[in-house]
Amino acid sequence: MWVNCILRSGLLFVTLSLAIAKHKQTSFTKSCCLKGTLIQAVDSLFVKMVWIKATVPEEHIKNIKLLKKKTKKLFMRNCRFQEQLLSFLVEDVFGHLQLQVGKEVHFVEDFHSLRQKLSHCISCPSPAREIKSITRIKRTFYRIGNKGMYKAISELEILNWIRNFLESLIF
């Protein structure tokens, strides 16, 4: 009976410790992720994106779209998809961008920073595998070769999606 009482009190202690740790972690996440700050970062990137689009050659591929309407719906409701799409843009698209010292570098660094902040603020379990829509986007991106980078940059309305997503959140 004495052993049973000790085990129960130990279990209660562990449960309380985990609950306190989870509460502290949640509070920390909320305090470091102010919605207004993230929206400001998106707005700043939007201004830089306009400049980037103006410096990149215009793409003339009208019959292919990387980011379709259903892609936006998926982005708005699936955090795994968000993370994978943002990773694709940072690693695959911006990784191929011929960076010159100037606004391009700052744009890529700021976009990467926003991606990290979103990943930190919105907890999402790591996906076991790549989502099929991301695989399709990558396949199309690489199939059209160098023009894929220009196509992806011309379709950077994802910043609007991020802003809409942030505005829909309750922090």
From first to last of its 171 residues, the chain has per-residue pLDDT tens of 544 444 344 433 333 333 333 333 333 344 456 778 888 888 988 888 888 888 778 888 888 889 888 888 888 888 888 889 999 998 888 877 765 545 566 788 888 888 888 888 877 776 667 788 899 999 999 999 888 888 888 888 888 988 888 888 765
CATH code that applies to domain 34-168: 1.20.1250.10
The amino acid at residue 130 is E
Residue 61 CA to residue 127 CA, distance in Å, equals 32
Of 38, 157, 52, 136, nearest in space to 94 by CA: 52
Residue 85 CA to residue 72 CA, distance in Å, equals 11
Q: Is residue 54 within 8 Å of 153, Cβ to Cβ?
A: no
The per-residue DSSP string of 28-86 comes to HHHHH--HHHHHHHHHHHHHHHHHHHHHSPPP---S--SS-HHHHHHHHH-HHHHHHHH
What is the domain partition of the chain in residue ranges?
Answer: 1-32, 34-168
Cβ within 8 Å of residue 106, ≥6 positions away: 48
